[in-house]
Structure 1
């Protein structure tokens, strides 16, 4: 079978267990849950016509439920949370009780790339239609809020007129393709993966062959030696390596993911040249489409299939059923050294510079985006990049314009030399807009950063703090030095309040490992700054030379960590 068709392959990868997982390749085509049913009834891509021709004209009340809470995601639209509903009611209310009559709209930016004109286009849409919201996500997207269904067609015209898209930004689809934000310019780059990102998005995004997957499908491609796209936790990743005979290419990883059941991706041990990345990508996503588990929604991610099959079986099926040829064996990537967030001022391989700055927990505004565009243009650049750490970069800056750009961005609160706390903290959307959230995240994380900066102004050790509003780990809590999972906790006075379960010592790059949970340990939300300050002080006082926070956590006494 070719990788981009919907016909059923032969069942060489047939699982040994007899349980029906709802795998298409094994003949299971009956819809086994409501999500599978609405996808079979009508492709999510088809909802755009109804949005433009019916819903935008007749308003929110006209939207069919399966479009509202299902197919509209295929075009980047989620209903946002109705204001005033506390986190204790998140799991007990029906979806229609949580829905506000406004939407989050996700703008997909494959490779995290924006031109000056595109930055201005997003800024204009933000100001006109989204109450000036514009959150940089840890998937290199921008999320807008307060969007009315009546405005969506005009928003699409503005974005698409600038070469941007919301196609398959959400839903059971191939989501945004992560890429190194310094692809093509980094002085130490192994290989530039940009052509593969472009080929994948041009050929396959919006293609009905891959618009009905068991769940979402996450991709990362980077040839940067700093391992800057969290390849360990994506469904498929292509990581730059040098083959001893064939030169620069990519090492293939599959089956990573976090949420409530975290899995580190597995290496296939295969080396792929740049030109073949799109074909191999199509084979991997084809396996997911055909063999992925569709019966139970909470078992439908690729990570479960990879965990059951193992890397060798997955590679065998990829080669025999989808590529019809063997892949070359290849080396593993070297462990990353140093920072991978690209903050600061760095010389490019062409002699110019790129500048990386840190918004606080990814939160900016339409006005700030507009002023960023002005500064980028004044610096003689036309390339803005977003990172998986919720950061913003400007490429191609001449040496004599660097200082002015750095100062201008700092005036917007975007610092090239932020504190370790501002640099290392990311946060998901949280209860402010998200219907799954239990606690507030963005504002709380920002207040925590400010408090830590005031309390520990000379703290200079790398420290990542990831704040998530629910168990789904959009902010990658298991992989942070301090990962905070939102939940309702009991305070000292017996009240039910917002708080966090704590994960400590998670890390990616080199030997990836997930954070350590302390039994029964919870932190009340209002006590979060004091708790992190206490941890930071203990780490600073107790660390050995060159010891990271994650290393220190592994040997620290549990009472010190509470």
Structure 2
């Protein structure tokens, strides 16, 4: 049993955590009770048969704030509720009568027809809203429940869905947008992503997990899917026998208790990925903690067990065979992970990566991107894990034309440091958890920093988050901004941010440094960031990164 295995590593076995495998089948909180009462996948038919016909007021609250998520639907925040009310009001007081809808895009892979369909859904049903997320999805807003069946039909007609885009389920599988075309790729993970999707997404085997479950499967040599912070990651390596495969990592995640994923030390061959993924997910389903929501992620399980015990349980109880030991990923210093710019493909053509403002686009713009790609001979558009997009398969003589067409739409192929490196979550405009506004704030910040520091040389990441949950990965940004209410110079409570400095992934992963009292109002944000970036330039040693400087700088220099 896992407690015995865990005891070998010195971990104390935990009981009473609601683990199914230890006999705790009775729900220990309302979320678990709701899932036991009815599988989240069952809500799909009720939406089609009942709620879309009878309207918002007909929706069972247990479906509205629970099971709807299994089909990618969240109620969005009602307009006009300030951030100070976020933690005070009841859910029904925060709910608008409209929904955010998340379109699932595994591996970030889209055809022209698929992207055009999303654009048309946005303009028809979502008030022309669309955000490209750092999970490679597209989010739409202002969705009425009456329109959901028609939206699903449109998505299904082009091979897309919203299945398990949210909820306590296996969410979208991250993959490299250059899979199959990058000359430096370790292994093309497209077949493995497709297999996992076909075999397990929408399956009742994994429709009741303790909490959300985030996966990445990628052979990218730049490690663009951020294997360090997913619940389970398969990251490309060359195995002991010289063939390509994957290093297996488990237990990454950010939110209010960030942890980096831990290597299990195992090598996974491509043909094993689907069953190993299912094995890891099954361990989480059966042994994951279900008593307290804030401890229900797999990262807490592997923290308590340790990677050795977790691997032992995976192999003995779920796989029935031992995985060979394998190497860890081979990262290089200073790798850019976002695939921005014009670069050659292995077939002699080019991919063109471009940056919208903090992931915010629109249905009109998505349709225009589809048109531009098609006009330039491409049927392959990709989303990235950094709120960016890439068009594949552009001939040399069309590069100038597609670059000009994209940049005419404010989609920069050669963006400034600040356009390229700034991300923002949904924020208070639509999110019920948010405390501050982020998307417009991030866009305005880009403009200000481009004006004030036009020649800034370093790729410093700036991530804005509207609440502590870190959807925009604030702990692993050079400058991470966590939304909260702060006191301004006049003693008034206003929107602002707690500042985290020097976080990052790669060769030297670390969570950002927090300096006591280091906060800024939203209005003062451009002044603060300009000030700290100028100090970095003044004090840095030769080729020193911002993260290295932030780790050694005096507190006063970071304020």
**TM category, shorter:** over 0.9
One of 548, 554, 557 as aligned partner of 1:557:
554
CA distance in structure 1 between the aligned counterparts of 2:14 and 2:529, rounded to whole angstroms: 49
One of 387, 390, 393 as aligned partner of 1:390:
387
Q: What does residue range 48-447 of structure 1 map to in structure 2 within 5 Å?
A: 48-337=44-333, 338-447=335-444
Q: Deviations over 1:476-531 (max 9, x none)?
A: 00000000000011111110000100000001111211000001111111000111
One of 444, 448, 451 as aligned partner of 1:451:
448
Which residue does 1:5 correspond to in 2? Answer: none
Q: Deviations over 1:423-475 (max 9, x none)?
A: 00000000000000000000001101100001111112111000000000000
CA distance in structure 1 between the aligned counterparts of 2:477 and 2:91, rounded to whole angstroms: 31
How much has 1:10 moved relative to structure 2?
9.0
How much has 1:244 moved relative to structure 2?
3.4
One of 477, 485, 488 as aligned partner of 1:488:
485
Q: Deviations over 1:379-412 (max 9, x none)?
A: 1010000111100000111111111001100001
- 2:493 paired with 1:501: no
| SS of residue paired to 1:286 | helix
Which residue does 2:531 correspond to in 1? Answer: 534
CA distance 1:14–1:514, shift in 2 (3 Å): closer
* Greater mean deviation of Cα atoms: 540-549 or 207-216: 540-549
Consecutive aligned runs of 4 or more in structure 1 exceeding 2 Å deviation: 9-19
Q: What does residue range 18-33 of structure 1 map to in structure 2 within 5 Å?
A: 19-33=15-29
CA distance in structure 2 between the aligned counterparts of 1:460 and 1:419, rounded to whole angstroms: 9
| SS of residue paired to 1:345 | strand
How much has 1:557 moved relative to structure 2?
1.6
CA distance in structure 2 between the aligned counterparts of 1:495 and 1:554, rounded to whole angstroms: 32
CA distance in structure 1 between the aligned counterparts of 2:171 and 2:239, rounded to whole angstroms: 29
CA distance 1:123–1:100, shift in 2 (3 Å): same
Which residue does 1:3 correspond to in 2? Answer: none
CA distance 1:470–1:13, shift in 2 (3 Å): same
| SS of residue paired to 1:546 | coil
RMSD across aligned positions (CA)? 1.1
Structure-1-length-normalised TM-score: 0.97
8 Å CA contact 1:438, 1:487 repeated in 2: yes
How much has 1:246 moved relative to structure 2?
4.0
CA distance in structure 1 between the aligned counterparts of 2:4 and 2:302, rounded to whole angstroms: 15
CA distance 1:551–1:145, shift in 2 (3 Å): same
How much has 1:556 moved relative to structure 2?
1.4
How much has 1:544 moved relative to structure 2?
1.9
8 Å CA contact 2:69, 2:167 repeated in 1: yes
One of 516, 519, 527 as aligned partner of 1:519:
516
How much has 1:108 moved relative to structure 2?
0.6
CA distance in structure 1 between the aligned counterparts of 2:295 and 2:193, rounded to whole angstroms: 28
CA distance 1:140–1:18, shift in 2 (3 Å): closer
* Greater mean deviation of Cα atoms: 536-545 or 253-262: 536-545
Corresponding pairs, count: 554
How much has 1:19 moved relative to structure 2?
3.0
Q: Deviations over 1:49-106 (max 9, x none)?
A: 1000000000000000000000000000000000000000000000000000000000
| SS of residue paired to 2:257 | coil
8 Å CA contact 2:169, 2:209 repeated in 1: yes
Which residue does 2:32 correspond to in 1? Answer: 36
CA distance in structure 1 between the aligned counterparts of 2:476 and 2:218, rounded to whole angstroms: 19
How much has 1:276 moved relative to structure 2?
0.5
- 2:540 paired with 1:543: yes
How much has 1:13 moved relative to structure 2?
5.3
8 Å CA contact 1:11, 1:26 repeated in 2: no
8 Å CA contact 1:14, 1:26 repeated in 2: no
CA distance in structure 2 between the aligned counterparts of 1:360 and 1:126, rounded to whole angstroms: 18
8 Å CA contact 1:12, 1:317 repeated in 2: no
One of 456, 460, 463 as aligned partner of 2:457:
460
CA distance 1:154–1:521, shift in 2 (3 Å): same
CA distance 1:36–1:558, shift in 2 (3 Å): same
CA distance in structure 2 between the aligned counterparts of 1:363 and 1:545, rounded to whole angstroms: 36
How much has 1:17 moved relative to structure 2?
3.2
CA distance 1:18–1:550, shift in 2 (3 Å): closer
